[in-house]
């Protein structure tokens, strides 16, 4: 079956611009996570959705970051007024409610110039 | 901040040798998971060990967990060049007795297996 997909694979933008990153979870997975991974580091948690609602957004670094999952499937991570420090790989993962294993997508590599 | 810390940061071995990576963490956990990552992109889940388990095997992988020391180790036996990757431990912390899968990753171990 299809895994988690993320688009775009790579995104280059200029400082101050707005970007949207998309995640398509595995069908039937109710839990969805966003993580951010900087070069040479492990992924860091950003936000968790159970269904349509953000159950934990404690990892979002500031109010420039926002994520939605309006129909409980696809999620979009939105970054306003991008800064060079936002450059990283943004990873999405999904999980079935009754399982502990998270399945990760290939990530979106964001570069802010 | 990262809860898990892997040791060593980098490991270089010859094909056929065993590779051992260690992970330490700070808080109580529900489970600990090991992931593999190639070329800085998607993570592949390798193995999960629950807080009430001490050892687990999967193919050439052996994971141990010592909750009293808050540490885990991943052993890859008979390594292959294809095992070259970064390996991360991730903890699923217990929060009030419940867990929803929020993972805290370490910084990873870069494993290089020379043919």
Yes or no: say if A36 and A43 are a contact pair by the CB < 8 Å rule. yes
Cβ–Cβ below 8 Å for A101 and B2: no
Q: What is the pLDDT of residue A23?
A: 98
Q: Quick one: pLDDT at residue B96?
A: 56
Residue B3 pLDDT more than 80? no
Per-residue pLDDT band for B93 (boundaries 50, 70, 90) equals confident
From the list A4, A42, A56, the residue facing B105 with the nearest CB is A42
Torsional class of A73: left (φ above 0), alpha (ψ -120 to 50), beta (otherwise): alpha
Share of chain B above pLDDT 70, in %: 90
On whether any CB of chain A is under 8 Å from the CB of B25, the answer is no
What's the token pair of residue A38?
């900087």
The per-type count for chain A, helices as H runs and strands as E runs, is 0, 11
B64-87: average pLDDT:
96
CA dist B74 and B65 (Å) reads 9
Q: Please name the residue of chain A whose CA is at the shortest distance from the CA of residue B31.
A: A100
Instruction: Give CA angle at B108 (B106, B24), nearest 5°.
Output: 45
Closest of A105, A98, A32, A97 to residue A69, by C-alpha? A32
SS3 B97: coil
Q: Name the residue with tokens 């020379």.
A: B114
Is A104's CB within 8 Å of B42's CB? Answer: yes
Least Cα separation, residue B108 to chain A (angstroms): 6
**Which residues, in sequence order, are CB contacts of B105 under 8 Å at separation 6+?**
A35, A42, A43, A44, B2, B4, B35, B88, B89, B90
Residue of A nearest to B50 (CA): A100
Task: Enumerate residues 6+ apart whose C-beta is below 8 A from B82.
Answer: B113
Q: Which two tokens stand for residue A97?
A: 């409610």
User: Which residue of A lies nearest to B110 if distances are taken between CA atoms?
Assistant: A40
pLDDT value, residue B97: 55
**More confident call, A1 vs A42:** A42
Strands A31-37 and A88-95: antiparallel
* Interface contact B92-A37, CB threshold 8 A: no
**In the prediction, which pLDDT does B47 show?**
96
Angle at B49 between CA A56 and CA B33, to 5 degrees: 50
* Mean local confidence (pLDDT), A2-21: 96
Q: Is the predicted pLDDT of residue B1 greater than 60, yes or no?
A: no
pLDDT in tens, B5-21: 788 899 999 999 999 99
Among A42, A45, A107, beta carbon nearest to B41: A107
pLDDT value at residue A98: 87
**Closest by CA position to B100, among listed A94, A66, A90:** A94
């Amino acid at each position: 079956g299809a895994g988690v997909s993320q688009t775009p694979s790579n995104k280059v933008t200029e400082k101050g611009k707005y970007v949207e990153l998309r995640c398509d979870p595995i069908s039937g997975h109710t839990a969805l996570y966003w993580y951010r991974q900087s070069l040479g580091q492990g992924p860091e948690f950003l936000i968790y959705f159970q269904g349509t609602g953000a159950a934990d957004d404690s990892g979002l670094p500031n109010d420039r970051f926002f994520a939605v999952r309006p129909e409980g499937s696809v999620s979009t991570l939105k970054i306003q007024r991008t800064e060079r420090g936002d450059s990283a790989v943004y990873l999405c993962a999904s999980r079935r409610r009754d399982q502990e294993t998270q399945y990760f997508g290939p990530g979106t590599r964001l570069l802010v110039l | 901040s990262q809860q898990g810390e892997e040791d060593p940061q980098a490991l270089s071995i010859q094909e056929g040798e065993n590779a051992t990576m260690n992970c330490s963490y700070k808080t109580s956990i529900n489970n600990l998971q090991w992931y593999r990552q190639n070329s800085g992109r998607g993570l592949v889940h390798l193995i999960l060990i629950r807080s009430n388990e001490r050892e687990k095997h999967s193919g050439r992988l052996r994971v141990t967990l010592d909750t009293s020391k808050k540490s885990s180790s991943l052993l890859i036996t008979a390594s292959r060049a294809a095992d070259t990757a970064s390996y991360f431990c991730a903890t699923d912390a217990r929060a009030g007795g419940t867990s929803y899968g929020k993972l805290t990753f370490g910084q990873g171990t870069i494993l290089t297996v020379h043919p």
